[in-house]
Structure 1
Amino acid sequence: MNASDTDTRAAGSPAHLRIVVGVDGSEPSLRAVEWAADEAVLRGATLRLVYASLWERYEGAALTGELGKPSEEVMAEDIVETAERRARGRRPDLGVTSEILPEEAEYALIRESRSALLMVLGCRGRSGVTEALLGSVSVTVAGHAHCPLIVLRCGNDNQVRPGPAGRIVLGVGEKPADSAAVRFAAEEASLRGAVLEAVRAWRRPLHEPRVHPLIVGQPAHLQEAEAAELAEEALATVPEGLRVRCRTIEGFARDALPAVSRDADLLVVGARRRQGHFGLQLGRVAHKVLHHAPCPVAVVPEPA
């Protein structure tokens, strides 16, 4: 199926200035389109809408007739046209292109991430049991994307809010100095005029040594101090003039970050990519926050 260049300005844009959105016709994916359109305007980028599916191969023509649907190609065209209208309704002057790809969505989106500035996905639950969890496409792409990926869960709104009230939360990892996640979070905060809050979780030792009563609790104090140092280290290289603050919180990072991001505009975490490793490369923290954070989550690939 051929690409549809819906805007000549967008068609000539460099690939690295494109924000890619995976669309599937669902309302969550259309909300992701609106969110990505706002982000594209902030960054001076264009928007690329991608629909990828082998639905007809798996479901067959019989189900197509049963549902009263047209052919896969016509349905796909309708999906991208609807997404284009949503993007243009949100940002009339935004350059938009779209493409229909007859392949598995996960593979298509991971390949698209190689030449994208940023990728945005919505997600939806498939039953009452799984409505709070991500679909397999979002999880797989998050584990393998080559560019930063932002995932909007069902409860997230579709507003990108520039302004002094904004807050970008950065989950600080073990090696924060000049990390890709730090750079991305600082850029987002700068674009939005928001506060950048670096958060590092810490845990007290399971078995504190039996020592003199005057120094009981010192190991826990040292753990918290180390966490504060890592948070400050993360902010050491951000641009001057950016409003920043550090925060430490006791507990597992995978639980602490969703809790502190309850009113945040975006939560940013890193995902380390291991050379030659073909399994899921998310890590416990990124995996947990993708499923449970109350705000949009950006997963930023970090080289091993």
Structure 2
Amino acid sequence: MVLPLVVGVDGSESSLRAVDWATDEAALRDVPLRLVYASLWERYEGAALAEGLGRSSEQVMADDIVEAAARRAHRRAPDVKVTTDVLPDDAVSVLSNEAHTAAALVVGSRGRGGLAELLLGSVSLAIAGRAACPVIVLRGSHDNQARAGRHRRVVLGVGEGPHGTAATRFAFEEAEVRKATLDAVRAWRCPAYESTDHPLLTGEPARLHEQRAVEILESALSTAAAEHPAVDLRRRTAEGSARRVLLDASDEADLLVVGVQRHHGHSGHVGFQLGRVAHTVLHHSACPVAVVPQRG
């Protein structure tokens, strides 16, 4: 079964931009597009009462929103199959459930209720930390226009540990369908306590940390690089914090990909640990950000 790209829509300019971006992505991947709107009117009124009263103004608005979004997607890519749904629940619950049968979720950086000065909407941030599939948050291009890849460049932030495996595969697949360069970046830093003033040892700790970054990069990329030989892969290590290195790289990228690690909460709930790097790029990236969970 071909899984769809799912877009959370709410009528905001940010969500319409997400529809545009996801429509282009669905055309590239040759997958269906599913547009969903979360509505609580039926939960509050009760299904039986709602049927007796006819369609509420909230339901009419919800239907209008998804229908307008579907028309927008069809105009942009007539060959993409589009389905719509209005679901009686809050946005985070709706999108979290949709994630189990989606190739990826696409959301705007903030919804109808968000103030322009807010860095990232609460729904977008919550979904990025909960969804069981990749989540693409539409950062950058704040004139609400989703443009085709101008830079032909996908950036992958390479971390440590196995939780980056899914993100690496996702980044290679995105670079391949876009015919874009994949810029795989590993940041490194030399802790201050390892520095020395001894002239014979100057630079040695830094060299060791840089070499370790090179080794991590090679280990993380080797399997996926062999599986995607057509991808133009560029490996790069950079001194500095991962947050700053990735934000700088996002300035000339069409997509920034980072991985997140599964964790178990105190209540037994399974979620994903965004971490400081993911939080930072979600709030400040100059391009769309794909947050990819490690499954299994």
Instruction: Find the counterpart in structure 1 of residue 256 from structure 2.
Output: 267
Instruction: Find the counterpart in structure 1 of residue 3 from structure 2.
Output: 17
Equivalent residue for 2:137, pick from 151, 157, 165 = 151
Looking at structure 2, the residues matched to 260 and 27 of structure 1 have their Cα atoms a distance apart, in angstroms, of 26
Instruction: Find the counterpart in structure 2 of residue 294 from structure 1.
Output: 286
Instruction: Give CA deviations for 1:227-255 in whole Å, capped at 9, x if unaligned.
Output: 12222222212221211111112222122
Q: 2:157–2:257: 8 Å Cα contact kept in structure 1?
A: yes
Equivalent residue for 2:159, pick from 164, 173, 184 = 173
With structure 1 as the length reference, what TM-score do the two structures score?
A: 0.84
Looking at structure 2, the residues matched to 55 and 228 of structure 1 have their Cα atoms a distance apart, in angstroms, of 54
Shift of the 264–135 alpha-carbon distance from structure 1 to 2, 3 Å rule, reads: same
SS at 1:169 equivalent = strand
Shift of the 185–46 alpha-carbon distance from structure 1 to 2, 3 Å rule, reads: same
Instruction: Find the counterpart in structure 2 of residue 63 from structure 1.
Output: none
Report the Cα offset of residue 177 of structure 1. 8.8
RMSD: 2.2
Q: 1:28–1:123: 8 Å Cα contact kept in structure 2?
A: yes
Report the Cα offset of residue 187 of structure 1. 0.2
Instruction: Find the counterpart in structure 2 of residue 201 from structure 1.
Output: 187
Instruction: Find the counterpart in structure 1 of residue 67 from structure 2.
Output: 81
SS at 1:216 equivalent = coil
Q: 1:151–1:297: 8 Å Cα contact kept in structure 2?
A: yes
Q: Does 2:120 match 1:134?
A: yes
Q: 1:151–1:298: 8 Å Cα contact kept in structure 2?
A: yes
- Structure 2 gaps, min length 5: 45-55
Relative to structure 2, which stretch is displaced further, 188-197 or 237-246? 237-246
With structure 2 as the length reference, what TM-score do the two structures score?
A: 0.86
Relative to structure 2, which stretch is displaced further, 183-192 or 167-176? 167-176
Stretches of 4+ moved more than 4 A in 1? 55-58, 277-280
Report the Cα offset of residue 285 of structure 1. 1.0
Looking at structure 1, the residues matched to 245 and 196 of structure 2 have their Cα atoms a distance apart, in angstroms, of 29
Looking at structure 1, the residues matched to 188 and 3 of structure 2 have their Cα atoms a distance apart, in angstroms, of 37
Matches within 5 A, 1:178-257: 179-210=165-196, 212-237=198-223, 238=225, 239-257=228-246
Shift of the 45–206 alpha-carbon distance from structure 1 to 2, 3 Å rule, reads: same
Looking at structure 2, the residues matched to 100 and 41 of structure 1 have their Cα atoms a distance apart, in angstroms, of 23
Relative to structure 2, which stretch is displaced further, 283-292 or 245-254? 245-254
Q: 2:99–2:131: 8 Å Cα contact kept in structure 1?
A: yes
Report the Cα offset of residue 118 of structure 1. 1.1
Report the Cα offset of residue 175 of structure 1. 2.2
2:292 counterpart letter in structure 1: V
Identity of aligned residues (%): 56
Shift of the 224–277 alpha-carbon distance from structure 1 to 2, 3 Å rule, reads: farther
Shift of the 43–151 alpha-carbon distance from structure 1 to 2, 3 Å rule, reads: same
Q: 2:262–2:272: 8 Å Cα contact kept in structure 1?
A: no
Q: 2:140–2:286: 8 Å Cα contact kept in structure 1?
A: no
SS at 2:80 equivalent = coil
Instruction: Find the counterpart in structure 1 of residue 106 from structure 2.
Output: 120
What number of residue pairs does the alignment pair up?
275
Shift of the 154–258 alpha-carbon distance from structure 1 to 2, 3 Å rule, reads: closer
Equivalent residue for 1:36, pick from 22, 27, 32 = 22
Q: 2:263–2:271: 8 Å Cα contact kept in structure 1?
A: no
Shift of the 199–176 alpha-carbon distance from structure 1 to 2, 3 Å rule, reads: farther
Q: 1:208–1:217: 8 Å Cα contact kept in structure 2?
A: no
SS at 2:141 equivalent = coil
SS at 2:105 equivalent = strand
Shift of the 177–289 alpha-carbon distance from structure 1 to 2, 3 Å rule, reads: closer
1:290 counterpart letter in structure 2: L
Shift of the 204–81 alpha-carbon distance from structure 1 to 2, 3 Å rule, reads: same
Report the Cα offset of residue 91 of structure 1. 0.4
Relative to structure 2, which stretch is displaced further, 48-57 or 214-223? 48-57
Q: 1:202–1:249: 8 Å Cα contact kept in structure 2?
A: yes
Looking at structure 1, the residues matched to 13 and 116 of structure 2 have their Cα atoms a distance apart, in angstroms, of 17
Q: 1:274–1:303: 8 Å Cα contact kept in structure 2?
A: no
Instruction: Find the counterpart in structure 2 of residue 50 from structure 1.
Output: 36
Relative to structure 2, which stretch is displaced further, 212-221 or 148-157? 148-157
Looking at structure 1, the residues matched to 271 and 177 of structure 2 have their Cα atoms a distance apart, in angstroms, of 34
1:148 counterpart letter in structure 2: P
- Structure 1 gaps, min length 5: 1-13, 59-69
